[in-house]
A and B are shown apart, each in its own frame.
Chain A
Amino acid sequence: MAHAHDHDHGHDHGSELSDMQLRTRALQTILLEKGYIEQAAIDALIETYEKKIGPRNGARVVAKAWVDPQFRQWLFADGTAAIGSLGFGGRSGNHLVALENTPQVHNMVVCTLCSCYPWAVLGLPPLWYKSAPYRSRTVADPRGVLADFGMTLPADTEIRVWDSTAELRYMVVPMRPAGTEGWSEDRLAELVTRDSMIGTGLAKRPEDVT
C-alpha cells in the first residue's frame, strides 16, 4: 500500500498515460457531462488543499500557545473554539483537540482504521501517516515508530497514543525549544514542523533554522 504510488512516478506528465490517469479522467468527463460537478469547483478544491490549507495553520496555533498563556489555557480546554478564533476549522476540524507534550508525557496521533487527520490545521496527511507500517505499529510499538523518525525519548517518558476513531481531530502542541525567549510568534512558528504536531518529531531548535 505504501509503495503502490511509485508506479505513477515519472509517467504522469509523459505521453504514456497511466491507467489511473485514464480512469480518473474518464470519470471526470462523465460527471461533467451529466452535470454532477463543475470544473471550477474541482480546481478550487485542489488549489485549496495544495496551496492554502497546510501545517502553517497549525504552526500558528502552536506559536500562539507558546507566547500567550490565556490562549494556551483556552486551547487545551476547548480546542475547537480556540483554534476557530484564528480562522481554522470546518472540514476535518469540526471537533479539534490540542494535546500538550511535556517532559513527562509525549503524545502521538494515529488513525489505525483509515487516515483521520486534522486537515483544518495540518492539511492533507503525508503518505507515511496513511501507510500500513504507521497504522499497524504506532499503537503497539510507539517507541519503535519514533526510532524510524530518528527520535529517542527518555525511557521514563510516558507515551500516549491517540487513535482517531471518531470525528475528533487531534493536534499535538510540542514543547517550546530552549533559547527562544522573547521570540515573536512569526519567528516561533518557523520552528513548528508538521511532524512535531503529529507527535513523530520535536519542534526545531533555534540553531536548526539560523
Chain B
Amino acid sequence: MNGAQDMGGMHGFGPVEPEPNEPVFHAEWEKRAFALTLAMGMPGGWNIDQSRFARENRDPAEYLSMSYYQIWFAALEAMLKERGLVSEDEIAAGHARGEPKPVKRVLSPADVLKVLHRGGPTERETNTAPAFKPGDKVRARTINPPTHTRLPRYVRGHVGTVERVVGCHVFPDSNATGAGENPQWLYTVVFAGSELWGPDGDPASQVSVDAWEPYLVAVRPL
C-alpha cells in the first residue's frame, strides 16, 4: 500500500538524532508490546507479512504520530480482534470475558530459545529457473497495490542492474493477503543514485533493493 511506511526519498523529517547510550527499550510497556507480539505469533497464526501489513495499514497522519512500539501494539490488537482471539469488550474491560478460542500452540518458556534460533527462513525449493541473471538490466514495474508490497515507490519505473540471484523466497504480496507463500525468485537489484533522484542525487551513490521476479521486467538492449 502507498502508505506512510514507504518513506524512501521523502523530505522534511529533519536530521537523524542518534541517542548516546540508548537503552534497548525506553519504557516498561515497550518491553511488553514487543514480547507479547513475538509470543502471540505462534498461537495467533499470522505470518510476518500479515504483521507488517497490520502495522502499515493506517491513516498516514496517525502512522507518523505514533511511536514504533505504539504501532506494534496497535497492530497486535487489530490482529487479535480480526481473528476473534480477543474482543473489543475484553480490551475495554481489561479481562477475559468469553471462552478462549482454540489455538494450535502456545509458546512455552522452554521453547523460547529454540523458536528464536529457528527463526523464519523464507527460502523455498523450486523447479523453476530464474528469469534474470547477474548483469541483466531490469525495470521495476509500476505497480500500486492497495495491499502489502515490498517494492518501494522510489524505485518503481526505474532501471537497475541485477547484481545477485538470491534464491526462491516467499512472496510477501501473496503471503500478506493469506493467498499463500507463492515463492518467487528474489534478486538484489542495484540502481544508480542519478537514476533514482536525477540531478538531486549523489552521483557517487548506488542503492539496492531486494526484489522478487514479479516486480521486475526485462530491459532489452537496443
Contacts and interface: CB of A to CB of B under 8 A. Distances in A.
A3 B15 CA distance: 12
Q: What band does the interface of chain B fall in when counting residues whose beta carbon is under 8 Å from A?
A: 35 or more
Contacts of B217: none
B220 interface: no
A210 B134 CA distance: 45
B119 A44 contact: no
Contact of B39 (A35, A37, A133, A134): A37
A158 interface: yes
Given A148-B16, A165-B151, A168-B166, A130 B68 contact: yes
B36 A42 contact: yes
Contact of A114 (B56, B117, B206, B208): B56
Nearest to A34: B100
Given A48-B113, A165-B210, A140 B119 contact: no
Interface in A72-128: 89-95, 112-115, 120, 123-124, 126-128
A26 B97 CA distance: 13
Task: Tell me the dominant secondary structure on chain B's binding face.
Answer: mixed
A18 B86 contact: no
A166 interface: yes
Interface of A: 1-2, 4-5, 8-9, 12-13, 18, 20-21, 23-31, 33-38, 40-46, 48-50, 54, 89-95, 112-115, 120, 123-124, 126-128, 130-137, 139-143, 145, 148-149, 155-168, 195, 200
